Every structure is written in structure tokens, then in C-alpha cells.
Amino acid sequence: MAPRPGSAAANGELILHRAARMEDAFHHFREVRARRRGLLPAVIPYAGYGGTGWVRVLGRVLLAKPPKKGEAPQTRARNIRGWRSFTSVPAGAVQVTIQAGGQEFRVKADRGGVVDTRIEVKLPVGWNTISLRTDDSAAVDAPVHIVDPAVRIGLISDIDDTVMVTALPRPFLAAWNTFVLDEHARRPVPGMAVLYERLARAHRDAPVLYLSTGAWNVAPTLTRFLSRNLYPAGPLLLTDWGPTHDRLFRSGREHKRASLERLAAEFPEMRWILVGDDGQHDEELYGHFATEHPANVAAVCIRQLSPGEAVFAGGRSENGERAAMTDVPWLYASDGAGLSELLADVGLLPHYPNGIGG
């Protein structure tokens, strides 16, 4: 049926799902009350990445108490922890000014306060610093990694049960881990930080990206966890909870699939080492990506969960047969040390004496 003349659909406007309209109304109500209490926009900067002549900028705008006298704007982002990151009020549709490479760009945060935009600017290869601010807040710095066009190997890693031990599908444990505990209470997966550090040394300047179905609310906590446990620095590719413009619930699998497709388009010459676990959908997603883009996959590394972890995760994936569908190496081990040895066997890492990195 054709859209009614003069309607939003006929005019090419985005039609929001009823749940999204209800969410927007609730956020608006909270935002009005928060601003009356004196809360002001604060930009929470996230690490971004880019290539020759462009940068993907990531961040979020929340309403927060004005900074105390002498307090750096960056401090407010570090202080939003645990459940507070979920109860903070997002500032939707706020204008954000980005300063990068001596240029200024004006963009608008989305309805959840998330800034995820691509700007055309040339920055030197390696880590750079850009700044983000709103009209009502001071500028905060955000790191961005500009990938050298000569680099051919990169790392894309899942987070839950791959770099940190979690129990995501179990509702009560997931709620406890997400809303209550901070990064000190989360356990790293044995050997994975060492594995990633070896990969970073073996493939100098390789981009490292952490792809998860987690919400942007937990980005500060995840960043601190990765840093505290000596994982290589890299952008987080997360999603936003709640309804989208056309769905009642967001699809974590679709987020991962779309992110992989985007990276393949942004870095067509890059061969990625994909790391995940056998407890959710990583094998299926990576298998599909390897089938569609075999030239963009150097290896698929799957961390095998212990029997107890598999119970928490709701069982193991049954998509291992995808390993036979391409010439891409599929490597299975229970920890980082095992995966390190297998990556050495396929030539993506040097062999270390006695299995210990030098």
C-alpha cells in the first residue's frame, strides 16, 4: 500500500517504531527534569579509528553535574561507573563540535546521545588526539588510531567470554556483572592479553578493535578493564540498548554482522584475525564473513569454553562445520597460550622457545 500523501513516509522521513517513540518521550521527560536540576551536557569520548583522509569519531553525550572547581572535564567520563552509566540521562540530538587536524566539524548526536560519525580529515598514521565538545560543555580529548595503508593484518576481538570471563546469557548474573560490579571484579581470560600483545608486536601498527553486543553505557568500564589487564589499546564497537526506529529490540548479531561488513569496506586490503568463543554466535558470524570475504580473513580463533562456562553461556555453538567451507585457518583452544601456538603454526606469530614470548 502506498504511503498517504503528505505523510512522513511519503516525505522520506524516518518512521519510528512505537516503542522508540515511547522511549524518546521518556528520555525527553528525564532530560527536562535533569536540566531543571542544573545538569549540563558532558561528552564521554571513546576511542575512534580511521584511514587515509577520514576518521570515525565515537562518543556519547550525557547530562551530568557541572564539574567541580578545578576538575578536568575528562574526569567526569572516568567517574561514571557501573549502574550509574545506565541511569545517566542521555542528551539526544545535541550538536557536537569536533576539532581534528586543525579543522572544525559540527555533527549531531543521535536520539540516544551517541556520536558515531565519519569526518573527512587527514591525520598522520598512528595514534592522534581529537577533541569533542557541545555548546554547553568544555572540550574533551578522544584518541583515534589512523591505520597505516601499508598494514595488512588487523585484529577483531569479541569481549564476553573471549577477553573477560562473564555469564552474559544468565539474566541475574548478567545484571550483577553489568550494573553492580566494576572492572576490578571481572576476570580476564587466561593468556589472552599476552596473545594480543604478541600479535601487536609481530604485526606492528596493526589495528585492534573490540567488537561486542554490549551497550555503550559500559564503554568506560570495559576500557578500564582492558587497560588494567594490559590488553592493547583499541576502539570499542558497541551498540545501544533499547528499541530502534523499526524494531522493538536491537539485534546484537546484526550489529556484529554490520560492523564486520563495514570494516571490510573501509579496509579492503586488510586481512583480519577474528577472535571469539564457542558459547554464542561468533562461529556462525565469523564463518559467514569468511565465506563472503575470504580475502579479508587471515584466521579465525575460537576460544573453547570450559564445561562450567558453557553451562553459563547456555551451551556451545554447533557451527564448527563452517571451518571446512573456506581455506581460512580455524583455530580452537581453551586459552590464549593454546591459540598462540596455533597461530605460530600457521605463520601469523613467531614460534617462541618453550611457548613463552620473548
Break the chain down into helix, strand, coil percent, rounded to 5: 35, 30, 40
The whole-number pLDDT of residue 221 equals 84
The whole-number pLDDT of residue 111 equals 83
> Looking at the domain 153-355, which fold is it?
Rossmann fold (3.40.50)
pLDDT-wise least confident of 58-67, 203-212, 233-242, 303-312: 303-312
Nearest alpha carbon to residue 117 among 177, 43, 63, 17: 43
Cα atoms found within 13 Å of the Cα of residue 68, Cβ hemisphere only = 4
Q: How confident is the model at residue 63 (pLDDT cuts 50, 70, 90)?
A: confident
User: What is the rounded average pLDDT of the residues 242-255?
Assistant: 60
Taking the C-alpha atoms of residue 215 and residue 44, their distance in angstroms, rounded to an integer, is: 14
Has residue 246 got a pLDDT over 50? Answer: no
Whole-structure pTM value? 0.84
pLDDT-wise least confident of 124-128, 136-140, 150-154, 164-168: 164-168
CA distances to 26, 205, 349 from 275, in Å: 38, 18, 15
The whole-number pLDDT of residue 109 equals 94
Q: How confident is the model at residue 269 (pLDDT cuts 50, 70, 90)?
A: very high
> Looking at the domain 39-146, which fold is it?
Immunoglobulin-like (2.60.40)
> What mean pLDDT is reported for the chain?
81
Taking the C-alpha atoms of residue 354 and residue 342, their distance in angstroms, rounded to an integer, is: 14
The whole-number pLDDT of residue 166 equals 74
The whole-number pLDDT of residue 5 equals 45
pLDDT-wise least confident of 48-52, 124-128, 181-185: 181-185
Q: Beta strand pairing status for 271-277 and 297-303? A: parallel
- The DSSP secondary-structure symbol of 306 reads P
Three-state secondary structure string covering 14-75 = CCCCHHHHHHHHHHHHHHHHHHHCCCEEEEEEEEEEEECCEEEEEEEEEEECCCCCCCCHHH
Question: What cell does 57 get?
Answer: 569519531
Nearest alpha carbon to residue 191 among 35, 333, 26: 333
pLDDT-wise least confident of 130-139, 224-233, 323-332: 323-332
% of the chain at pLDDT higher than 90: 53
Show me where the domains of the chain are located: 39-146, 153-355
